[in-house]
Chains A and B, each alone.
Chain A
Amino acid sequence: MAKKTKSTSDKPNRSTKDRKTLGSIRDLADTVVQSAGRGREPYVDIPSRSLSNVRFNQSKRIIEMGSGTNRRELFNLAQARSYMQTLLVASGCKQLIDQGKTTSIRGLFYLLKHTIEGTSEETFDTQNECDPVIEDIEVSLDSMREELHLYAKNAGAMVGPITLVDSGDTIDCSRMGSGGYSIPSIVEQDIVQFKKNTAKFILHVEKDTVWRRFNEDKFWRKHNCILTHGGGQPPRGVRRMLHRLHHELKLPVYCLLDNDPWGYYIYSVIKQGSINLAYESRRMAIPDARFLGLRSLDYGRCQLSPSVQIKLNEQDIKRARQIAQYTWFVNKKPWQKEIELMLKNGFKLEVEALISKDISYVTEQYVPARLKEGEFLD
């Protein structure tokens, strides 16, 4: 059973934000009480987080969530379990807010995981079962993750000539050693404030390994930029940080990603928002972000050796075709050409492929050349 917390009704020191979130959580609980009181079957309508329920807003150039919802019912065999989980997550967040604490989504998973009384069934089997329910709660309560007192594990780092304050501590991102400043999952104004910045742009790279190359070569110092990575698909903290840096400090964002469907997809997420988290696009998508590389033509342009080719598999080809059809790509000739060329090549290229030319080829030649030419995909 859900762990009991002592009753803490409306502490005076509670923030307005918390009061709003608590209100939504209570509303959810009230639907259960009311339905049961009337002998009706309780349900919750959860905004649908699927491709069919996202729209590309042409003027804002971001993906927005539509008004479609999925009904989740308690008395429906296929949904009973996830309905119960939804209420468990809500009650977990309520307890966190009551106690004024935050926890990782993994922590919440452990807080809520237990054996259902009289059975051998667990409330949650794995973290993977819990995570989407948390996202469901976010969208249904229209509360951001941090408002629920939740965060994801830090993934992603940054360095650069910028000083910020994180939870009261001043951090000079130009003095972060080899590991950089680890971007927290919650970077809202009340936690992170920007102080001094001299950087002129942001270079976002896909992976930690590539990021290390750039940091070691002190690329950011030479080119006066902020260097970030998101450990693959950037988590919300990283995307929100990029978003704030871009909007608040007016820094252009250039992305250096692999020349493969996955790289294209990451770019799409940074630029337009993700389908799954379309409700977050408003505060995360960066429509002006640019794609610096790697390009399909780089194999020839950089005269790479055939050994760096990675053959496209069926899945890649399918993915690539799908991405080419995204509303926000379908009318962009250069992108269509880019994807077509990759398919024609029949292989993909990782950024690390450039290392085969020279260990610092990417930092000393490739990226500087692109920046100099100003040649990016939009």
Chain B
Amino acid sequence: MEEHTNMPNVNETGEQPKRRAVTAESMAAKQRDISVSEFFAKNRHLLGFDNPRKALLTAVKEAVDNSLDACEEAGIVPETWVHIEAAGPNRYKIGVQDNGPGIVKKQIPLIFGKLLYGSKFHRLRMSRGQQGIGISAAGMYGMLTTGKPVKIVSMTSPKKPAHYFEIQIDTRRNMPEIINGKGDGEDIPAGEKGQKYITDHDIEWVSHYPISDQQPHHHHVVRSGTRVTIELEGRYQRGRGSVDEYLEQTAIANPQVTIHYVDPDSGETTYSRSTTQLPPEPVEIKPHPYGIELGQLVTMLKDTSAPSMAQFLTTSFSRVSSGVAQKICETAKIGTRGNPKKIGRQEADSLYKAIQETKISAPGTDCISPIGESLILKGLHHQLPGEFFCAATRPPAVYRGNPFLIEVGLAYGGTSSTQKVTLDALTDLLSESDARSLKQFLLTTFDGVGAIGADKILSQAKMGTRQSPSKLKKEEIDQLFAAMRNVNLSENQSMQVLRYANRVPLQFQPAACAITQSVIGTNWRAYGLAQSRGQLPVGPVTVMVHVASVWVPFTSESKEAIASYPEIMKELRLGLQAVGRKLAIYLNRRKRVRQEGERREIFLRYLGEVAHAVATIKDFGDRPRKDLYGRLVYVAKRKTAAAETQLKDDGKQRENAAEEFGENVLIVNPEETPGETASSEPTA
């Protein structure tokens, strides 16, 4: 297992200390292998299946992450479908499909029916999934809670038959059990015949999709792809930590993706791509010696086929030339020609130490593919309202031999989440909510609503904070809706932080996450936002932070929070400061423009009086008076415009806006209506 996981070594039967009542023999009778599947069946929370609501999200998330990984690896612009359907009380059927490369027949059962089976664990390459647990764990959870098998359709080419599997996991053996086609799965013929087969056998599969909204009759044919359907015990509830939020945030960090989403109420939402440009393909790398632990080193020595130590070092690791290998061996006092398999524990120890003492250049960084500043701007602007956007991609850095890279985007301004919601959506949200009080409902459903904000809304709506959200009458909902519209939270809402690891949104455990910690640790007051000590800053502002790495150090298997390595913290800080500085420039400029506007207004206010007074003294008629007024207005405008190009306090000539901000800043005229958050047409 990797050092980053907290998973106990479940396949080993450890020696137990003796107790008086039992003998070693009696215990031995009970000691046996624990399969990974069995272990996780008992410890679902480790994989994000702690409660029904989160389970639903996690299942969708595992499937979508896989789809996006597969598309990216295959160089396909991703088109994804997410369908959630109610299938009984506390039961949902989720279907996730992609237009990716598909999966070859013999791999399908293992991928979906065996835990710790994947293509991503044993390599160092940036991807969303990394452990090989995700989708099979989701399937297993579904099976354990509903007894229904996981259904997979996969097509690798329009000319070849597609495969259809219904799989169950034998948790004791951690092995797949194929239910359909007499244990062999079914083949769906290619072409027209396949269509008929699919309909006849009630198989779910999207085969066509519209080219664009404008041309509903022109269709793309799905030429390849995978669809996984899981039925599970779950709970659907919008708001924070929901599927909807996950998809929206995914769309922000993945502007190349289009997601067709149908929620359990049959509401259809399309998050459409803002670019067809795929992120550059990350290169797979070998581990860097600094990132290896002693245990791993021992295993690698055992497993290697290299005949000599020198060869072992140069072929197993990146950045180890024969010169470096020689140096390491010298320091470790081990012969370069020695057989790696014969290295003893002691020697391995000194080898490990020697590696740390030898200067080895940092790993290559082309294994990471950043979203890039311009696509971050696109993603943010496409999905979030705002008047100012900026982004910063940091150069790659290394923690424990693993290359990583930090990207930060920031959106400022726009309406708050409580103002965006429609009356229908609010009604749904209220009926779905299990919050005990209205105040709790507001706090848990909407982003950036603090206790103060919730109280403000409720007092405006003249409603008690203790009122139960699900028992509101129609008029009360109208009242609440109006209050939510009227109360402007943007001034005292706290910053919304969108966290991403390899483009996957992190929706839970914000407090435990290095990203949140460094956002809080940044002094935003210096950049013009209000912030109290140890708190998120306040204002209508959203920050997205992307940690990209060949190996993201999560704090647990459920991939919810990033561990705070000092190198990562440092890069996070620098990235946040970069967008902070841009924000400060923008806010200052906005303030200045406002002040200029106010100044101008003050001048204009008095000009009429002055012109009149002069006209009275000079016995002017209307014409010359108006002429004088016009001239004074002209001078006033020139005066206030001139002030903007005047010297700054520090005596330095003020540069023009573009130069000040640097690149990758997007300013949206606030008068313009902000871009809608995805095109959303409920069809219920």
A and B contact pairs by CB, cutoff 8 A, 8 listed: A32-B610, A33-B614, A37-B631, A80-B602, A84-B609, A87-B609, A94-B617, A116-B606
The reply on A105 being an interface residue by CB < 8 A is: no
Interface: B628 (CB within 8 A)? yes
Report the bound CA distance from A189 to B634 in whole Å. 48
Please measure, in the bound complex, the distance between the C-alpha atom of A121 and the C-alpha atom of B601, giving whole angstroms: 13
Judging by beta carbons under 8 Å apart, are A25 and B617 in contact?
Answer: yes
Q: How far is the CA of A221 from the CA of B575 in the complex (A)?
A: 95
In-complex Cβ contact of B616 among A4, A36, A81, A116 (8 A): A4
Query: Beta-carbon contacts of A86-130 to B below 8 Å, as 1s and 0s?
Result: 011011001100000000000000000000111101010000000
Q: Which residues of B contact A5 (CB under 8 A)?
A: 616
Is there an interface contact between B635 and A80, defined as CB atoms closer than 8 Å? no
Give every chain A residue within 8 A of B619 (Cβ-Cβ). Answer: 7-9
Q: Is B359 an interface residue (CB 8 A)?
A: no
Is A26 on the interface with B (CB-CB < 8 A)? yes
Give every chain A residue within 8 A of B610 (Cβ-Cβ): 32, 42, 74, 83-84, 87
Task: Knowing A2-B616, A4-B616, A5-B616, say if A36 contacts B608 (CB, 8 Å).
Answer: no
Select which of A2, A33, A39 is within 8 A of B609 by beta carbon: A2
A1-38 vs B, CB cutoff 8 Å, 1 = contact: the mask equals 11111011100000000000000011011101101110
Q: List, in ascending order, chain A residues with CB within 8 A of B616's CB.
A: 2-5, 91, 94-95
0/1 string, A191-222, CB within 8 A of B gives 1:
00000000000000000000000000000000
Known A-B contacts A74-B610, A75-B639, A87-B613; the reply to A33 vs B605 at CB < 8 A is: no
Residue B144 at the A interface, CB < 8 A? no
Q: Is the CB of B617 within 8 A of A28?
A: yes
A357 contacts which chain B residues (CB < 8 A)?
none
The interface residues of chain B lying within 8 Å CB-to-CB of A9 are 619
Q: Is B603 an interface residue (CB 8 A)?
A: yes
B636 interface contact, C-beta 8 A: yes
Q: Is the interface of B mostly helix, strand, loop or mixed?
A: helix
Query: In the assembly, what is the distance between CA of A25 and CA of B613, in Å?
Result: 11
Contacts of A1 in B (CB 8 A): 608-609, 612
Contact status of A91 and B617, CB under 8 A, knowing A39-B635, A40-B635, A41-B635:
yes
Interface presence of B581 (CB below 8 A): no
Q: Which of B608, B613, B636, B638 contacts A91 (CB 8 A)?
A: B613
Asked whether, in the complex, the Cβ of A123 is within 8 Å of the Cβ of B618, the reply is no
Going nearest first, the 9 A-B pairs with the smallest beta carbon separation are: A87-B613, A91-B613, A36-B631, A29-B617, A91-B616, A84-B606, A1-B612, A7-B619, A2-B612
Interface check B240, CB cutoff 8 A: no
Complex partner residue of A36 from B609, B613, B617, B628, CB under 8 angstroms: B628
Q: Which of B599, B610, B615, B636 has the most CB of A within 10 A?
A: B610
Q: With A2-B609, A7-B619 in contact, do A75 and B614 touch (Cβ < 8 Å)?
A: no
Q: How far is the CA of A5 from the CA of B607 in the complex (A)?
A: 20
CB proximity of A302 to chain B, nearest CB, Å = 57
Contact, CB under 8 Å: B617 / A117: no
B 623-658 to A, binary, CB cutoff 8 A, 1 in contact else 0:
000001001101110110000000000000000000
Residue contact A123 to B628, C-beta cutoff 8 Å: no
Q: How far is the CB of A80 from chain B (nearest CB, A)?
A: 5
**Interface size (B, Cβ < 8 Å)?**
25
Complex CA gap A146/B510 in Å reads 78
Q: Are A77 and B631 neighbours in the complex by a CB distance under 8 Å?
A: no
User: Among the interface residues B606, B619, B631, B634, which one has the most CB atoms of the partner chain A within 10 A?
Assistant: B606
Partner of A74, one of B606, B615, B628: B606
In the complex, what distance in Å separates the CA atom of A8 from the CA atom of B610?
20
A27 closest partner in B (C-beta): B617
Partner of B608, one of A29, A30, A116: A116
* With A9-B619, A32-B628: A75-B608 Cβ-Cβ less than 8 Å: no
A residues near B628, Cβ cutoff 8 Å: 32-33, 36
Using A81-B606, A95-B616 as known contacts, list a sample of 5 further A-B pairs with CB atoms less than 8 Å apart, ordered by residue number in A: A8-B619, A25-B617, A42-B610, A87-B614, A118-B608
Across-interface contacts of B617 in A (CB, < 8 A): 25-26, 28-29, 87, 90-91, 94
**Shortest distance in angstroms between B281's beta carbon and chain A's nearest beta carbon?**
59
Q: Are A83 and B606 in contact (CB under 8 A)?
A: yes
B606 touches A36 (CB 8 A): no
CA distance A4 to B615 in the complex (A): 9
Cβ-defined contact, A88 with B636, below 8 A: no
**Set of chain B residues within 8 Å of A33, measured between Cβ atoms:** 614, 618, 628
**Closest B residue, CB atoms, query A88:** B613
* Closest B residue, CB atoms, query A30: B618
Residues 278-329 of B contacting A (Cβ, < 8 Å): none
Residue of A nearest to B599 (CB): A77
- Given the known interface contacts A26-B618, A117-B608, A118-B605, the answer about A41 and B639 at a Cβ–Cβ threshold of 8 Å is yes
Question: What residues on B are CB-neighbors of A123 within 8 Å?
Answer: 609
Residues of A close to B609: CB separation below 8 A:
1-2, 84, 87-88, 116, 123
CB-based contact B618/A90 at 8 Å: no
Q: Encode A116-150 as 1/0 by CB contact (under 8 A) with B.
A: 11110101000000000000000000000000000
Shortest distance from the beta carbon of A203 to any chain B beta carbon, whole Å: 45
Please indicate the chain A residues that have their CB under 8 angstroms from the CB of B612 in the complex.
1-2, 91
Q: Which residues of A contact B608 (CB under 8 A)?
A: 1, 116-118
Type the 1/0 row for B58-84, where 1 means its CB is closer than 8 Å to any CB of A. Answer: 000000000000000000000000000
A40 to B636, CA, bound (A): 10
CB distance from B636 to the nearest CB of A (A): 6
Q: Is the CB of B602 within 8 A of A77?
A: yes
CA distance A77 to B628 in the complex (A): 20
Instruction: Give complex CA distance A215, B171 in Å.
Output: 121
| Docked complex Cα distance between A117 and B610 (Å) | 12
Instruction: Report whether A75 and B618 are in contact in the complex, using a CB–CB cutoff of 8 Å.
Output: no
Partner of B634, one of A2, A39, A42, A74: A39
> Roughly how many angstroms separate A41 CA and B636 CA in the complex, as a whole number?
8
Say whether A116 contacts B613, CB under 8 Å: no
Taking CB atoms, residues of chain B closer than 8 Å to A8 are 619
| Distance between B331 CB and nearest chain A CB, rounded to angstroms | 72
Task: List residues of chain B with CB within 8 A of the CB of A81.
Answer: 606
Cβ–Cβ < 8 Å partners of A88 in chain B: 609, 613
Expressed in whole angstroms, the Cα–Cα distance for A41 and B642 within the complex equals 13
Query: Which of B602, B619, B636 has the largest number of chain A CB atoms within 10 A?
Result: B619
Instruction: For A80, list chain B residues within 8 Å (CB).
Output: 602-603, 606
Bound Cα distance from A171 to B609, whole angstroms: 44
Complex contacts, B606 vs chain A, CB 8 Å: 74, 80-81, 83-84, 116
User: Which chain B residue has the least Cβ–Cβ distance from A41?
Assistant: B635
Contacts of A95 in B (CB 8 A): 616
List residues of chain B with CB within 8 A of the CB of A32. 610, 614, 628, 632
Residues 457-515 of B contacting A (Cβ, < 8 Å): none
Of A5, A75, A91, A94, chain B has the most CB atoms within 10 Å of the CB of A75
Kindly report which residue of chain A lies nearest to residue B631, judged by CB atoms.
A36
Which residues of A are found within 8 Å of B635, using beta-carbon distances?
35-36, 39-41, 75
Q: Mark B580-623, 1 if CB is under 8 A from A, else 0.
A: 00000000000000000001001101111110111111110000
